[in-house]
Structure 1
Amino acid sequence: MFVLMETNTTVIPASPPVPSAENDTHNHHHPSQPHHHDIIPPTNILIIILPITIIILLLSILLIIVMLRRLKSTKNNGNRKSNNSINKNNCMFIAHSTININASPNVKGGCLYGGNSVRIPSSGKFRGVQVFTYKELEVATDKFSEANVIGNEEFVVVYRGILRDGTVAAIKMLHREGKQGERAFRIEVDLLSRLQSPYLVEMLGYCADQHHRLLIFEFMPNGTLQHHIHHFLNHSRPLNWGTRLRVALDSARALEFLHEHTLPSVIHRDFKSSNILLDQNFRAKVFDFGLAKTGSDKINGLVSTRVLGTTGYLAPEYASTGILTTKSDVYSYGVVLLELLTGRVPVDTKRPPGEHVLVSWALPRLTNRQQVMEMVDPSLKGQYSKKDLIQIAAIAAMCVQPEADYRPLMTDVVQSLIPLVKNLSSNSLRFSQTVFATVDNCVQVQMRFKTKMIDCSNMV
């Protein structure tokens, strides 16, 4: 009977099973019967989907970054190709947006690199600072022949050379080794690659090939102011009065540009007659920025530094304390004015006692009309305007004041010199001999500089 019932149950599947504990247990394990444990809860679905979503997002971000880097790399390669097309196997200097004169040069592959890739607006004349190999400069100077030497100082030799494009250039070779030499080289490249002015000698390029350090400048055919004032007897005539006034104005404008039109201000620190060069028209440009220093944002660009420069041109407060300001350059400019006025060198031990140092000898005499007349460079042979002479003497007296605060700004000096140069062609005014003109001009200087430091009563 039991067997018959089991057979019937098997043959007729449509019959509902008899509910019993045994059947419950049997049905629970039957694979064909659906049950609630096969449905995945929503929480489990979130746990699975969320990590997958995060992974997809990360992969997308990574892909975007890779694509951007490839795009940037392609653009940089394009820029390199364009630079190479301009200058075959050289590179262009990338200027600093801010000068860091304490940083050592970063030289890679013969190229000196700056900091941020910032292009400074320049005049149409400026052609860009190029990089030269040592071999190219050897060819330009006929293997640095002695016959091409146009300047020679303790750590520097300057050669005349002809570049591959036919440009005549002055090639300055630095012999100073160590950190100081590298620093001087870096300063000039860093400064002159971004500072363009008609009153500064233009830098055309540089060479940082292995241990060689050279700077390439525009050629100034009439050499240094120092040569024309102190060594003219060799082969040239002395500078006439009008040329001296123009040189005084051009060099004053150079310092005005450095002090007033750059940020931060630039202090030359070695302004002297041998660093003023003359072009074919005897227009002056300032040269040699190896010792230059950038000032702070404070008034006059006050900085503390080592005492460097040339004896006879150093401002007394800088020489004694190392405190450097734009007024230190003003003092040096005053010494150059005295050179133009008297034809004397700043320090000359061959002169009689009391006349060794130009400033010490000249300062007490600069406000006395008769003594000023006696101080004038004999090579001028009286061919000058006495009215202008008095004003130049008054300006020089202000610039070489022992107290820095009493010295004028270069802007004031420029404004005082402009009328003198403009009136050079007016002979009726140029050679005025009247006492009233000299006294009146002295008072004008007092008013311009807002000072009573000059005693105009002695001009009578």
Structure 2
Amino acid sequence: MSKISKLIGSITKPFKSRHSEGREEEDLQAIAVQEQRVFSLTVLSAATRNFHLGNKLGEGGFGPVYKGTLRDGREIAVKKLSHASRQGQKEFKNEAELLSRVQHRNVVNLLGYCTEGVEPILVYEYVHNESLDKHLFDPQKRSKLDWPKRLDIIHGVARGLLYLHQGAHCRIIHRDIKAGNILLDERWQPKISDFGMARLFPEDGKTHVNTRVAGTNGYMAPEYVMHGDLSERADVFSFGVVVLEIISGKKNSTFQPLPEAQCLLEWVWRLFKKDRSLEIMDPTLAASAEVEQVKMCTHIGLLCTQADPQLRPLMNRVVTLFHKKPGNIEEEPTRPGFHGQRYRRHSKPGSTSYGISSTSRSAGSSSRSSASSTNVTAGASGTSNPMGPSTSRMIHVSGSNSAGPSTSGTRSVSQSQESSGLA
């Protein structure tokens, strides 16, 4: 069986139950071609001017991403997988399989793929305004994001996540929701991208699954970092961080510690408790912001980042809250989960709630680069808790993405589990 046959077979496998089980492989390929899912290497070479350096959008551990233009005028982003990338091969296939299952205006659109030659290729729609972080955290560009645009971005990401969790053919947990994985189209509408670390959630009634920890510093939920417990509420936590970053224009992972707050979440929460939440607002929003909307979004962001995952609203509730009139949200946020706290699951059988210890580390030990992305792999296999006290974590740090699908490079360091807090 050829490489393209294997790839098409793996991507279309989830949908075979909708068709005859005996459908021939050639028929599946014909359907893929008819739907314009398969691109030839010749077509993609012409679109990218033979993968010219001037068309390059970025590069990571998996390989480069290029901008291209098809003969019909469509602009595309072409992600090539380097044959030397071992981790990238798994994430590459994972992204192809998951994105073939979804279609939503707030999720990046996978146009097709190519497996000719030694380097498999994924082809996406090209998104003109790059990723959110390129604008939000750039002092020269953030003024383009007035309050109406930022509010639309918040609402769009919420709709996209709700679709992944409840509206798609299968429940999908993204695992790496962050400003760098939110692309902005020509109308500044958001599209969730980079599904290399996403996971399908079993339809068996489980509230969470245990898995290797992978994500980005500053966005990962505490129960996921400490215990590998993955659920939709981990994505909700990451979404809450993004909401607070959009409002403040500050990045959680590079927040400069203050005497009263070690991170962005703690700073926002303390001001909110004092009814001073407007003080977190990015000064560039002064002329365009609707005060009550800013307060409401801050309130919802804090509800999403609560330390106890069971207190966080699911995305259907989050979307409902955004439709409420400002000031009509009844839930009060409890303390958020943030770096410097220690989290433990209650020992009572069947309990899924989490305790919080006041133990913290010095602010100096938590410094991180502004573009760091962590792919944390626990060393203990075959156990229900993949991050037990004696295991070490391997952290793969990747760069932020460009205008096309995200690019992720990797390096690794070891970190003691006993010293870990909320990344």
In the alignment, residue 312 of structure 1 is paired with which amino acid? G
Where does residue 253 of structure 1 map in the other structure?
A: 159
Distance in 1 of aligned mates of 2:47 and 2:81 = 17
Equivalent position SS for 1:204:
strand
| Secondary structure of residue in 2 paired with 1:395 | helix
In the TM superposition, residue 189 of structure 1 has moved relative to its aligned partner by: 1.6
Counterpart Cα distance in 2 of 1:284 and 1:272: 12
Distance 1:152 1:128, change over 3 A: same
Q: Secondary structure at the match of 1:169?
A: strand
1:369-389, CA deviations, whole angstroms, 9 ceiling, x for partnerless residues?
22x121111221353111111
- Does the CA contact (< 8 Å) of 1:367 and 1:393 recur in 2? no
- SS of equivalent residue, structure 1 residue 340: helix
Deviations 1:290-317 (A, max 9, x none): 1110112255751111100111110000
Find the counterpart in structure 2 of residue 239 from structure 1. Answer: 145
| Equivalent residue for 1:414, pick from 310, 316, 319 | 319
> Structure 1 residues 168 and 452 mapped into 2: Cα distance closer, same or farther (>3 Å)?
closer
On the 8 A contact 1:295/1:301 being kept in 2, the answer is: no
Tell me if 1:158 matches 2:65. yes
Stretches of structure 1 lacking an aligned partner (at least 5 in a row) = 1-104, 121-126, 421-440, 456-460
**1:242 to 1:340, Cα distance in 2 relative to 1, 3 A:** same
Deviation at 1:357, TM superposition (A): 3.0
SS of equivalent to 1:130: coil
Looking at structure 2, the residues matched to 359 and 149 of structure 1 have their Cα atoms a distance apart, in angstroms, of: 36
Matched, 1:193 2:100: yes
Q: Contact (CA 8 Å) 1:162, 1:169: kept in 2 or not?
A: yes
CA contact (8 A) 1:221 1:280 kept: yes
Please give the root-mean-square deviation of Cα atoms over the aligned residues, in Å.
2.7
* More moved, 346-355 vs 382-391: 346-355
Q: How does 1:356-375 map to 2 (within 5 A)?
A: 357-370=263-276, 372-375=277-280
List runs of 5+ in structure 2 lacking aligned partners: 20-33, 336-423
**Which residues of 2 match residues 79-94 of structure 1 at below 5 A?**
none
Separation in structure 2 between the aligned mates of residue 275 and residue 318 of structure 1, nearest angstrom: 19
* Contact 2:157 2:190 (8 Å CA) reproduced: yes
Structure 1 distance, partners of 2:206, 2:135, is: 32
The higher relative CO (CA closer than 8 Å, separation ≥ 6) is in 2
Question: Secondary structure of 2:163's partner?
Answer: helix
Change (3 A) 1:229 1:284: same
The aligned counterpart of 1:397 is 302
| Other-structure match for 1:133 | 40
The structure whose residues are more often helix, as a share, is 1
Residue type at the aligned position of 1:107: K
Distance 1:151 1:418 in 2: 38
Whether 2:222 is the aligned partner of 1:323: answer no
Q: Deviations along 1:268-291, whole A, 9 cap, x unmatched? A: 001111111111111111111111
**Equivalent in the alignment of 1:335:** 241
1:37-67 residue CA offsets vs partner (Å, 9 max, x unmatched): xxxxxxxxxxxxxxxxxxxxxxxxxxxxxxx
**Alignment pair present for 1:348 and 2:254:** yes
Which TM-score applies when normalising by structure 2? 0.68
Q: Which one of 270, 274, 278 corresponds to residue 176 of structure 2?
A: 270
* Structure 1 residue corresponding to 2:187, chosen from 268, 275, 281: 281
Choose the corresponding residue for 1:167, options 63, 69, 74. Answer: 74
How big is the shift at 1:237?
Answer: 3.6
Q: 1:391 to 1:145 in 2, by over 3 A?
A: same
1:117 aligns with 16
Count of residues paired in the alignment:
318
Partner of 2:281: 376
Alignment partners' CA distance in 2, 1:150 and 1:300: 40
Q: CA deviation at 1:215?
A: 1.3
Q: Which has the larger radius of gyration?
A: 1
Q: CA deviation at 1:350?
A: 5.3
| Greater share of strand | 2
TM value normalised by structure 1: 0.63
CA distance in 2, matches of 1:389, 1:180: 40
